[in-house]
Amino acid sequence: MPIAEGEDWGEPAPVPAGAVAVASDAAARDELEASRRRSEPLPELVLTGGDLHRTLGGSRSEARLRAEGATRVRCDLGVALCDGVVGLFIAHLVIGGHFLSGRTTAVCNASFVGRANLAPRAHPGDGLFDVIEADLPLRQRMLAWGRLPSGSHIPHPGITSRRTSHRQFGFSGRGRPVRLDGAAIGLVRSLSVRVEPAAVSVYV
C-alpha cells in the first residue's frame, strides 16, 4: 500500500544480503529495468546517491547501512510508454531541455532534480506523481532559478504543479527530448506515464 500523507516515510530494518547498492538514480533504473526484462521480482536497492537518495535524507555509506541497519522505504515506480517503448523511472521523468530553459515538464517521484528542489511536496511513496510544468519569459526564469534550491519557486503564476497517478502527452513535429532518471532516451512524440504504487523497497 502507498504511504499516506503525514505518515513516516519508512521503518528501521536490516539491509538484506541480496539488496543491490546503487549510487545514482540512473543506476537504480538500470537494475529495475534489467529485472523487469527478465520477468524477475524487482530488486531491493541500497541508495548511496542520486536525487531519490537526497529526497529521503540518506547520508550513510553502504558499509554503514549494512553494518548498522537502515531505514526501509516502499517507493513508487514510474512506468513510461515512450512511442511504444516501455521505460522505468524511480526519481523523475523530464520533458524538454534544462528546467526553466524553455517549456519544460517534470514528472516527479522525488522532490529533487539535480540542484533543484523542484517538487518540494513530492512524496516517493504516496502513489502519486508531482507534475511540474513551466513556461516562463527569460526574466522570470532567472528569478525562479535562484529559488529552485530551496523549493520556494512555487507558487508562481507561470509554474503549475499537479498531483496524479497517470498522465498522457503528445508532441508534434520531431517530438520532445525525454530523460528518465537523468538518462536521455531521445525525441518522443507520444508519451504516457503511470505509477506502480509502493513497488520498490529502498534502504537509506
Q: Which of 191, 169, 142, 180 is nearest to 52 (CA)?
A: 180
Which of 67, 75, 90, 47 is closest to 203 using CA atoms?
A: 47
78: left (phi over 0), alpha (psi -120 to 50) or beta: beta
C-alpha cell at 176: 520532445
User: Are 76 and 201 a contacting pair, CB within 8 Å?
Assistant: no
pLDDT at site 2: 40
Confidence at residue 160, expressed as pLDDT on a 0 to 100 scale: 80
Q: Which residue type does 201 have?
A: S
pLDDT at position 141, please?
A: 56
User: Where exactly does CATH 2.60.200.40 map onto the chain?
Assistant: 82-197
Give the three cell numbers for residue 192. 504516457
**Backbone phi, psi, residue 105, to 5°:** -130, 135
The residues, ordered by sequence, that sit 6+ positions from 128 with a Cβ below 8 Å of its Cβ are: 2, 76, 163, 164, 165, 195
Report d(CA 49, CA 53) in Å as an integer: 5
pLDDT tens series, the chain, 204 aa: 344 344 457 899 999 999 999 999 999 999 999 999 999 999 999 999 999 999 999 888 899 999 999 999 999 999 999 999 999 999 999 998 765 556 789 999 998 988 788 888 889 999 999 998 877 545 555 555 555 544 444 555 567 889 999 999 999 899 999 999 999 999 999 999 999 999 999 999
Topology annotation, domain 82-197: Tumour Suppressor Smad4 (2.60.200)
| Phi, psi angle pair for 158, to nearest 5° | -95, 5
Alpha carbon 77 to chain centroid distance? 8
Question: Are the CB atoms for 154 and 120 separated by under 8 Å?
Answer: yes
CA distance 107 to 132: 7
End-to-end CA distance of the chain: 20
